[in-house]
Each structure stands twice: as C-alpha cells, then as structure tokens.
A and B are shown apart, each in its own frame.
Chain A
Amino acid sequence: YLYNNRYAGDQVFRITPNNYEEVQVLKQILGHMKVDFWQPNSASLICHNATVDVHVKHNDTHTLCARLNQERIAYRVFISNLQKEIEKQTGYRSSRKRR
C-alpha cells in the first residue's frame, strides 16, 4: 500500500455553514479536532456560505458526524476512503509505464 496504508478509512468532509452561528460552532468543533484543512487553509478563514473541506482521520469520522448532526450543520462526505483515492490517483506503476 502507498504511504503504508496510513490513510485507510480516512475521509474528506465537505461542510457548508449557512450562517454566522454555524460558522462559530464549526470553528469550535474543528478547533478541538486534529483535522487537516483542505479548503480554506485554516479554521480562522471559515466563513458562511463558503464550503469547508477537511480531511478527517478514520477514528474521528464518527465523532465529527455526530457533532455536525447534533448541530444540524449541513455536510457530505466527498471522499469516503482516502487511501483508495490515493491508490487510484497514482497506484503502483512501473517507471517504464511513466515513459
């Protein structure tokens, strides 16, 4: 596996805070989790009606789902298994195939 399969089960969430309150709650939730911001680049840049894409580790996905559901913040999972996407993107190809 690429990267020693370290991304197995990790997911990327797309979260859309609709108003100022949801922005504040979302900053608070994500501020206490170890997530990797894809867009924007940090929690401080989150603003309403702008999508937030975050890479969430596999053992945090349920926690984040529960918190977002509890707060009724709209979200969807746009990459459900990051390791699979990584394998698909480059996969194991011989250098000959690269030429």
Chain B
Amino acid sequence: STAQYNYEVYHSLEEIQSWMFEMNRTHPKLVDVFSVGKSYEGRPLHVLQLGKRSHPQKKAVWIDCGVHAREWIGPAFCQWFVKEAINSYQYDSAMRRLLNHLNFYIMPVFNVDGYHFSWTKDRFWRKTRSKNHKFHCRGVDANRNWKVKWCEEGASSHPCDDTYCGPFPESEPEVKAVAKFLRKRKKRVKAYISIHAYAQMLLYPYSYKYATIPNFNCVESAAHNAVTALYSAYGERYRYGPASTTLYVSSGSSIDWAYRNGIQYAFAFELRDTGHFGFLLPESLINPTCTETMKAVKAIASSLLNKC
C-alpha cells in the first residue's frame, strides 16, 4: 500500500506506475491519473492530477520529471512531492490553500522508455529511445526537441550526439503528447516546472538567447524566493537566473517552449549535487534533496496566487 511505499529509494518504472494508480485509488478526492499519450516504444505517458476537485477552470501548475533518463532524482522528487502534498493537506494551511486553488499536473517519468533503459541496460542513457532508420544511434534529447528555435545553437543535428534535436520539432511522441496537452490548457496552466539534475540551479527563460524576458522582475523574484526557501532547509546553495547565462545557450528547450506558449512562469530545476556523485546521488540524499526542493516548488506555486 502507499503507506508502506519507500520514498527514500529509487523505483523502477513499473513500481512508479503502480504507485500512481495506488495513489489514485487511495486518495480519490485529491488524486486523479490519466495518460496523455504513448511513448515511442508504446508505453503509456501517465500524469497525476493533484488538487481538490472544485471548478474545472482552476489554475494549474505542470511539473515533469525524468526528461533525461539518467537523472533519477527527478522521478524521486515527483513522487515525493505528491506524497508530501497529500500528507500535509490536512495540517499545512499553505499546502491546503495551494491544492484548493491550484491543480498540479505531475508527470513522474516523462521519458518512460529512456528511464526503463537506464534501469536495465545503460545507467547513463539520457535521450529517448526512438530509432532513426538512417543511423545506428538511437534517441533524441527530449529537451532539444520542442518547437522553439529548434535545432539552433546548443543543440546537435547529429543522431549520435547526446544533444540531438531530432529529425523535426516534436518528433518524439513524448514531447508531442505533453506539448499537445499543455497547448490545450495554456490559459489555465500558470507555471511550468521541469526537474533535472545535476548542478543545483534554478533556471528560467531564455535558454536560446541572451535577452531578458518581459516579466523578468516577477520571475526573478519568484526564483529568488524559491532558492531562499530551498536554502532554509539544509543550507544548500542554488544559483538561479536565465538559463542562457547561468548555464549555457541551448535551443528547443521545454521552458522556452512553455514561455513562448504563454506560461508566464517556466522553470527548470537542476537538483543536487554539484559534482560529487553527479547522476549517482545516493538514496540517503533523496530525503534532504526532495525536502528542500519541495520548499522551492511551494514558493513558486504560492507566488502564482499572489499578484506580481
């Protein structure tokens, strides 16, 4: 049962999928589960809808984890977020306010094929598992495949590269499915959050150019509040700012796509660490990493309910 589910270990895709249905079964008033499509290898792309059922036009926050297969702390965080949100709904007034006024769409594993492959064959697989019949290499970087400045600086057009942008924008069924879902709901989805690892950063648009977004002050303030909240947990420092200057220029990213599609708050987290374990963050660090990130995500979500 979910009460005994261990959130402080990494779980396989199958375990995560059965956990999602169990959360829906045991918390029907707060959790709904649905699929937005199928992956390249035919796996369902499950999403949880978290929030008190009230009027259908509630604002929403989208959180995806596991865009890059080897970044296992992402799916661990998405599960942690759902567990914490449900457990604290009764006694934490801030969380109750969030779940009463917002829906959270949580996608614990975006890149389901890649994640499964990273558990079974290659621990350090990054991309999707699509096949390009002209090349022996598989996979597209799902964070270079979005229809925004697609395949320009910071992405590669070679199928064997880890930053391969794909044969065309939204070529990956996983990207196409999520883009379609968000496009349909863009009036309601007020924030887009994508969880990655590792670098300890909080990034916002633009990735594809050195320029300042029109609502810079509000987004910068939300980011500042988020990393301040994160720091308050264990004193871990996160850098924050536009992805192009804080990390590097890249094109076809999901946060630039979300922003261009009217989602005013689009963030990418790079979680722990800064290069001691890298992708192999030990399970003993799942709890503190997720606890601090929870504070940051709550701060971002709360900023949506306040006027900026």
Contacts and interface: CB of A to CB of B under 8 A. Distances in A.
Interface in A1-29: 2-3, 7, 12, 14
A35 to B, nearest CB: 11
B58 interface: no
B162 A98 contact: no
Contacts of A78: 275-276, 278
Interface string A44-67: 110100010101000000000000
Interface residues of B, number: 32
Contacts of A40: 247-248
A82 B122 CA distance: 13
B275 A14 contact: yes
Majority DSSP secondary structure for residues of B touching A = loop
Interface stretch (B3-11, B213-221, B287-295): B3-11
Contacts of B15: 95, 98
Q: How large is the interface on A (under 10, 10 to 19, 20 to 34, 35 or more residues)?
A: 20 to 34
Interface string B148-160: 0000001010000
B289 to A, nearest CB: 13
A30 B163 CA distance: 16
Nearest to B118: A3
Contacts of B277: 79, 85, 89
B279 interface: yes
Given A45-B154, A97-B6, A98-B11, A38 B278 contact: yes
B283 A90 contact: yes
In the complex, which of the residues A7, A40, A82 has the most CB atoms of chain B within 10 Å of its own CB atom? A40
A99 to B, nearest CB: 5
Contact of B281 (A36, A53, A89, A95): A89
Interface of A: 2-3, 7, 12, 14, 36-42, 44-45, 47, 51, 53, 55, 78-79, 82, 85-86, 88-90, 93, 95, 97-99
